Amino acid sequence: MKIAFVGKGGSGKTTLSSLFIRHLAANEAPVVAVDADINQHLGAALGLDEAEAAALPAMGAHLSLIKDYLRGSNPRIASAETMIKTTPPGEGSRLLRVCEDNPVYDACAVGVRLDDGDIRLMATGPFTESDLGVSCYHSKVGAVELCLNHLVDGPEEYVVVDMTAGSDSFASGMFTRFDMTFLVAEPTRKGVSVYRQYKEYAQDFGVALKVVGNKVQGPDDVDFLRDEVGEDLLVTVGHSGWVRAMEKGRPPRFEQLEADNRMSLQALQNAAEDSYEDRDWERYTRQMVHFHLKNAESWGNAKTGADLAAQVDPAFVLAEPAPVPQPG
């Protein structure tokens, strides 16, 4: 299942996404983690030192490889150069799976060992000096969107994406790629403002949205969040000595995280699993096509010199992968 963490800058979404990833690894779940924020901090939150985090391969730097691999033998896509971030898969396309080895993971993913298991970590890459004045960050996350469009995931597999802050993800259709979006909100008016934007934008697309209240100090904070977001408030998280030690670069073993915070993380996992059970693969594919056609008309056709609507395979539906046969 695909899960996004969003929220305003400083809300703690990267910290909470890293805790959730650690929780999943402790439960022996396969995880692909993706840092899609303009400020790349997920690697550090997962325990990488400064040099290791800086050395993460940038997905944007391997966009040509990603396109060429995903295109496969799809006859509707004339070349990798005519693929844009929203290009949907069709007959002949190569699809990504969480538990496999492929050239995309070889180029863009790094294995990270946590206390209770290993995960794959991918990153869009930071906004660099060469991008200033000539590029927008949405071009960076295009590689992530393309991979999500071509990824088939099972019910016990997790793709966790730490999204860019605020409501920037609505500049593309990527916000519809997730089974569950966890919006991290502090108990302040500014803290819930992004929630209102997400709620308004997402309501017409069936996006599952739950709020995680962060930096909550008492019942008044809980009451404030409940008044502002209602039933969308799933759990709240308060002060954590474990997190404070992690932010200093000296985290204890994850099993020592406070019991109430462990319970909150389990509530997130339960909510994501419930949402995945409701996934409509036909609607999921239809939304993908919808945003591709919008992007093709608004800028893609002019940029590539091709009719990108012709890339849509009307008979193709992205679907859950068949179970892998067990020996014996």
pLDDT digits (tens, 9 = 90+) for 199-240: 888 888 888 999 999 999 999 999 999 999 999 999 999 889
- For 175-223, the DSSP string reads GGS-SEEEEEE-SSHHHHHHHHHHHHHHGGGT--EEEEE-S--SHHHHH
Mean pLDDT of the chain: 89
- Confidence at 261, pLDDT banded by 50, 70, 90: very high
Q: Which residue has the higher pLDDT, 50 or 30?
A: 30
Choose the weakest-confidence range: 70-79, 82-91, 163-172: 163-172
Does residue 112 register a pLDDT over 70? yes
Q: Which pLDDT does position 71 carry in this prediction?
A: 97
According to DSSP, residue 37 is labeled S
Question: CA–CA separation, 28 vs 40, rounded Å?
Answer: 26
> Is pLDDT above 50 for 131?
no
| Averaged pLDDT for residues 9-13 | 87
Q: Using one digit for the tens of pLDDT, what is the confidence trace for 273-286?
A: 999 988 899 999 99
Taking the C-alpha atoms of residue 40 and residue 256, their distance in angstroms, rounded to an integer, is 26
pLDDT value, residue 172: 67
pLDDT of residue 168: 63
State pTM to two decimals. 0.92
Please give the Cα distance from 165 to 18 (Å, whole number): 15
* H/E stretch holding 120: strand 117-123
